Amino acid sequence: MTNVKIKNALLSVSNKENLLDVVKVLNKFKVKIISSGGTHKYLKKKGYKSIEISKYTGFKEMLDGRVKTLHPKIHAGILHDRKKKTHLKEMKGKKFPAIDLIIVNFYPFQKVVTQTKNHEQIIDNIDIGGPTMVRAAAKNFKNVLIITNIEDYKEFIRELVKGKGSTKLEYREKLASKAFGLTAYYDAMITNWFNKKLQINFPDRKVFFGRKYKSLRYGENPHQKAAIYINDFKDRETGLRKIHGKDLSFNNYSDIYSSLDILSYFKKSNTTVIIKHGNPCGVSSNRSRLLSFKNAFACDPVSAFGGIIACNFKIDKKTATEITKNFCEVVVSKGFDKQALNILKSKKNLRLINFSKYKSLNKTITKFFDNSFLMQEKNLRIMDSKKLRFVSKIKPSSKDLKELEFANKVCKFVKSNAIVITKDMSTIGIGAGQPSRLDSCKIAIQKARIFRKNKVKNSYAASDAFFPFRDGIKSLAKAGVKNVVQPGGSLKDKEVIEEADNNKVKMILTGLRHFNH
C-alpha cells in the first residue's frame, strides 16, 4: 500500500499553534476529525467540528485525564494491518474505524522542568498516552501518518493537496523516523531528570538527548559534515550570543568551549585566554584588562595568530584596539562597550561572541569512539592547600604559592604531557601534548626564551604529572625556573627533589595529577 487516503484523523495537541491551517485542509478533503478534550474545545470555539475522544470511544476519560486515549478503539484503529484479512474482520466485528492520521504533541515535560523544582508537578507532566499513540502510528507507517512537530504542518499540507487527500509511503516513513526520534528524546530527558534527581552519574544504561541547533559549514576539515546539538532541557540556545561576523565553525566551537572551561577557574580577576587547536597558547590575569590581553598574547604571538581570544570581562576601547592589531578568528567576552564594538566590527569576518548567559551544567565528560564511549567525572579540583607537601629545602612564600596555583590551573587544561611556565600571573612558555615530559619542558623553555626572555629568570613552572627523572627539573632550573608545582608519585621522587635542591628550586607536591588527553 503506497498511497493512503486519509479518512479519519486524531488530533491531540497541547500546542495549538498553526493547527487551524491543518484543520482547514482536512475539512477540504472531508476528513473526519477525532480530538482530545482540550483540542476539541479549541476547535469548537474556532467554529470547526470534531468528535471528542470520550464520545468516540464511549469511555469517559478518568484519573484527571491520565486515561483517555489508552483505549482499544483508538489503538486498534491505528495499529491494524489494512492488508490482513483477519485484522479487517476483527475491526469490522468491533465496528472500529481505521485512523489514518495522528497529530500529537506531548505534555510539556521539558518546559515544566525548566520552570519548577516541584517533583509532583514535573512527574504529572510525563506524557503516557501521547507517546503510546505516536509509537503505534510510527510502527504502522505503512498505513498511518504521524505528525509530531508543528514545523511539519506546511509540508503535510503540500503533500495532502498534491496527493488529493492521500500521502505517499516514503513521506509516512520519513515522519515515522522523526516520531521515534521524538519519543526517544522525550524518554531520554525523563531518564536524565531522574538520574540527576537521584544523583546517579553512571547508570547501567546511559542515554543522551540532543536537539539539533544548526548545521555547520563543515567539521574539523572541509570534507567532513558537521552539526551542533544542544543537550539540555533548554534546547533552543547555547548561551553563546553571536553579535557580529561569520557563522561559527566546528573548530571555533571546540576552541570556544575549551577557553570557557579555563575561564571558569578565574572568576576574581580580569583574565584573558588565547586558544589554538584546543590548547591554551597564552593566559594572563591582571587588574588591567589591557595588560591581561597583552600579556596573554605576548606568551606566544605566533601561535595566537588565527586563534580564539576569550576574556572574562567586558572589553573596552583600549583592549579592542589592541586586539585588532592582530588576526584572530573569534573574540569571546562578557560583553563589549559601544566603542569597543565599533572598533571590532571594523573586522568584517571577526566573530564576536557574548557568553554572559553561558552556564556549564554537566558534571561528566563523555568521549565517543567506534561502538563505545567513555564517561568520567569532570576534573574539578586544582590543588588542596591542606594537602600540599613542601618537599624542597627552600620553602615557597605565600606569593609563590599564588603564582604556582595560577600555573597549575592553566596546566590542568593543556594537553598531556604538559609543562607551563609563568611569571606575574601570566604564562610565558607552554609545552603541550608531547609523549616525553622532557620534550614538553624543552618546548616551554624554548617558547619563553623566544617571546618572554626577560621574564624567565625566577619564573614558575607547573607539571600535569610527576617528573619520572631528574632531567626535566634540571632543564627548567637551568632556564631560570625557581618554583615548581607537580603531583609527585614517581619512583624517583627523591632524585627529582634532590635535583631541585641542588638548583635551589622551591618545590611543592599536590598529590593531584591533571592528565588531559
pTM across the whole model: 0.86
Tell me if 455 is assigned to some domain: yes
φ and ψ of 456, to 5 deg = -70, -35
Q: Please list the alpha-helical segments (H only) found in 362-429.
A: 398-411
pLDDT of residue 14: 84
Report residue 290 as a C-alpha cell: 589591557
Residue 262 and residue 114 share a domain: no
Question: In the structure, what pLDDT confidence band is assigned to residue 62 with cuts at 50, 70 and 90?
Answer: low
CATH number at residue 74: 3.40.50.1380
Range of the domain at 186: 4-197
Residue 214 reports pLDDT greater than 70: yes
Residue 406 and residue 313 share a domain: no
Residue 438 and residue 389 share a domain: yes
Residue 187 and residue 248 share a domain: no
Residue 144 and residue 254 share a domain: no
Rounded average pLDDT over 453-468: 96
Tell me which of 7, 277, 345, 492 is the catalytic residue: 277
Residues 327-339: tens digit of each pLDDT = 999 999 999 999 9
Residue 176 and residue 274 share a domain: no
Question: In the structure, what pLDDT confidence band is assigned to residue 1 with cuts at 50, 70 and 90?
Answer: low
Last-in-domain residue among 197, 230, 254: 197
Task: Name residues whose C-beta falls within 8 Å of residue 22's C-beta, 6 or more positions apart in sequence.
Answer: 11, 103, 153, 156, 157
Tell me if 377 is assigned to some domain: no
Residue 168 and residue 57 share a domain: yes
CATH number at residue 464: 3.40.140.20
Last-in-domain residue among 147, 179, 197: 197
The 8-class DSSP code of residue 308 comes to E
- Please give the mean pLDDT across all residues of the chain: 92
Residue 110 and residue 161 share a domain: yes
Q: What angle do CA 339, 343, 345 make, to 5 degrees?
A: 115
Tell me if 367 is assigned to some domain: no
139 is catalytic: yes
Residues 344-376: tens digit of each pLDDT = 999 988 999 999 999 888 888 888 998 898 989
Rounded average pLDDT over 23-42: 91
Number of domains in the chain: 3
Tell me which of 7, 87, 139, 345 is the catalytic residue: 139
Task: Name residues whose C-beta falls within 8 Å of residue 372's C-beta, 6 or more positions apart in sequence.
Answer: none
